[in-house]
Structure 1
Amino acid sequence: MRKPILIICGVLVLAVAALLLFGRDGTPGDTSPEAGFARDMATHHAQAVDMAFTIRDKGPEDQVRNLAFDIINTQSNQRGMFLGWLQQWDLSQATDQRPMAWMTGHGHGAAAAAAGSSGTASGAMPGMATPQELTKLKEARGKPAEVLFLQLMIRHHEGGVQMAEGLLKLSTRSEVVSMAQKIVDGQTGEIKLMTELLQQRGAQPLPSILKTS
Structure 2
Amino acid sequence: MLAVLVAGAAGCAADAPADRRDPFVAGSGAPVVVPDGPGGHARTATPGERIGESDARTTAADVRFAEAMIPHHRQALEMTGLADGRGAGGEVAALARRIAGGQGPEIATMTSWLASLGRPAPAVHDHARQNAYGMATLEEMNRLRETRGAAFDTLFLRLMIRHHEGAVRMAEEELRDGTDRLMREMARDIVSGQRAEIGRMRRMLAG
What TM-score do you get using the length of structure 1 for normalisation? 0.68
Deviates more, 1:19-28 or 1:130-139: 19-28
1:177-207 deviation line (CA, Å, top 9, x unaligned): 110000000000000000001011xxxxxxx
Distance 1:77 1:49 in 2: 11
Deviates more, 1:86-95 or 1:151-160: 86-95
- When the two structures are aligned, how many residues end up with a matched partner? 158
Matched, 1:129 2:107: no
Matched, 1:37 2:33: no
Structure with the bigger RCO (C-alpha within 8 Å, sep 6+) is 2
1:148-192 deviation line (CA, Å, top 9, x unaligned): 000000000000000000000012221111100000000000000
Partner AA of 1:38 in structure 2? A
Match 2:91 to one of 46, 55, 63: 63
Match 2:185 to one of 162, 166, 178: 178
Matches within 5 A, 1:1-213: 20-23=16-19, 28=58, 32-94=60-122, 99=126, 123-124=129-130, 125-200=132-207
1:85-119 deviation line (CA, Å, top 9, x unaligned): 00112223249xx94xxxxxxxxxxxxxxxxxxxx
Distance 1:193 1:91 in 2: 36
CA RMSD of aligned residues (A): 2.2
Partner AA of 2:170 in structure 1? M
Report if the CA contact (8 A) 1:28-1:89 is conserved.
no
Report if the CA contact (8 A) 1:55-1:65 is conserved.
yes
Larger radius of gyration: 2
Report if the CA contact (8 A) 1:56-1:69 is conserved.
no
> Equivalent residue of 2:86, what SS?
coil
Query: Cα 1:64–1:94, aligned 2, differ >3 Å: closer, same or farther?
Result: closer
Distance 2:122 2:99 in 1: 24
Distance 1:144 1:154 in 2: 16
Bigger proportion of residues as strand: 2
Distance 2:20 2:200 in 1: 44
> Equivalent residue of 2:173, what SS?
helix
Q: Which blocks of at least 5 consecutive residues in structure 1 are unaligned?
A: 1-18, 100-120, 201-213
Where does residue 7 of structure 2 map in the other structure?
none
